[in-house]
Structure 1
Amino acid sequence: MKQRGFTLIELLVAITVLAIVAVLGWRGLDSILRSRTSLTQQMEHTRGIQLSFAQMQNDLEQLASRDDLAQRKNLQADNQRLVFVRTQSPDHGPTQLVVVSYRLRDGVLTRRESAATRDLAQLDVLWQVATADSDPGPSVALQAGVSSMNVRLWVNGAWVAPSNGSSTGSTGSTTNADPTGLEMSLQLTNEPNPMVKVLLLGDA
């Protein structure tokens, strides 16, 4: 009995079908890998922002009251930076005051902390240095890829968007009362929606 093999055309058709299946399979795998990479990056960014918010919350919960500062400024905010005075209690030591600055510069959110002091005159110098962006101390990068930062203050039962350089505890304040809460909104590059966190100020 004569055995019949594959013809050249049948082999070409089979190879073509296998090639099409291989291409489709590669595209599907490539799509999965790209999605996984994108998801991993989003999770890393989310984790970084959450850690930044946690640091802000810890700082702002220790916001120094104006009474402790002899009615000096205790917070200044705009959409590029957040500067405030917080208390710090070292182990077995007296409470000290520290000027903390959060800034958005070149897409990076940073945190800087001044030296601790109990001298209000020295605190005035540290405050002026911080608000003038001339602090020579090192800053800590908290999150990269931040395209914008927006701050609102909770004052007298309503959200108030501070104007550039507005502060609390000064004669030039844009509000009639001290804020009790702060809303921080950070927009990440290539993300559709900002990440928002509401923070209490001091023991409010």
Structure 2
Amino acid sequence: MMRTMRLPQTGFTLVEVMIAIALMAVLSVMAWRGLDSVTRANSMLEERTEGIALLLRALDQLDRDLALRATTELSSREVDALQAAADAGTNAADTKAATPPPAAELLPPAVQVRRQNGPPFFMEIIRAAPAAPGHWQRVQWWQRGNVLYRAAGAASASYPLPAPDDGARVAVLNDVAASRVRAWEPGQGWRSLPTVASARANATGLELAFDVRAAGSGGIQTFRRVIPLD
């Protein structure tokens, strides 16, 4: 009788299979964590890029508003008196006549920076209306809470100019921790605005600085732009 030879069986044992599965699980977790980190970093980078783009647009709009400011012969005190009369509904001519002669002014007549019932700063610019040649409008910038707002009033060909209404308010920048405005006075240096001290010379530059909370990290980044005043 012929004997049947038994060949040895080949394959993996149960222990080897379990070890292989465990290694594959560890590698999968490591790969997932690496991919998750890359995804989070990319998402954070996109948020920061979008935030910086919004900030740059806000600064560009501020720069444009200042570039279009009115070159009027009225002094800043006269402009303030006329606008206050318009807001209060009083006779602008009587208010103008009662205005005392102006002292040396730091800012141009068409640019005013003042504090107003809470906002860290409030800037108003009387500028040419781009869509209505020969007309002017009041543009206001202010910070309330952590938001920077802008509002433009209706265009008009004569004083007093109408103030912007609530419907014109636009939130242009969020997560603003602080905002500062300074003016460069020749021979004196930077002066924080608003200021009540008299000026010896007209300002030749305006500095706008914003402390913005970075997306994700929560850290504060300071952005600064200097705009020359011709």
Q: Please point out which of 134, 145, 150 is paired with 1:111.
A: 150
Question: Whole-Å Cα distance in 1 between the matches of residues 66 and 201 of structure 2?
Answer: 17
How big is the shift at 1:90? Answer: 4.7
- Structure 2 residue identity aligned to 1:146: V
Q: Which residue number in structure 1 is paired with residue 113 of structure 2?
A: 77
TM-score when normalising by structure 2: 0.70
**Which residue of structure 2 lines up, in the alignment, with residue 141 of structure 1?**
171
Count how many residue pairs are aligned between Structure 1 and Structure 2.
183
- Alignment of structure 1 residues 34-183 onto 2, 5 Å: 34-65=40-71, 67-71=72-76, 72=78, 73-77=109-113, 79-88=120-129, 90=131, 93-94=133-134, 96-120=135-159, 122-123=160-161, 126=162, 135-157=165-187, 158-163=189-194, 166=195, 172=196, 174-183=198-207
Structure 1's 116 and 161: CA in aligned 2 closer, same or farther, altered over 3 A?
Answer: same
Unmatched 5+ stretches in structure 2: 1-6, 79-108, 115-119
Most deviating of 144-153 and 50-59: 144-153
Are the equivalent residues in 2 in contact too, given 1:83–1:99 (CA < 8 A)? Answer: yes
Selected match of 1:8 from 11, 14, 26? 14
Larger radius of gyration: 2
Contact 2:153 2:168 in 1 (8 A): no
Partner of 1:169: none
Match of 1:21 among 11, 17, 27: 27
Give the TM-score normalised by structure 1.
0.78
5+ long unaligned stretches in structure 1: 167-171
Q: CA deviation at 1:64?
A: 2.4
RMSD: 2.3
Greater RCO (Cα-Cα under 8 Å, separation 6 or more):
1
Assess, with a 3 A threshold, how the Cα gap between structure 1 residues 47 and 4 changes in structure 2: closer, same or farther: same
Selected match of 2:222 from 185, 188, 194: 194
Deviates more, 1:185-194 or 1:41-50: 185-194
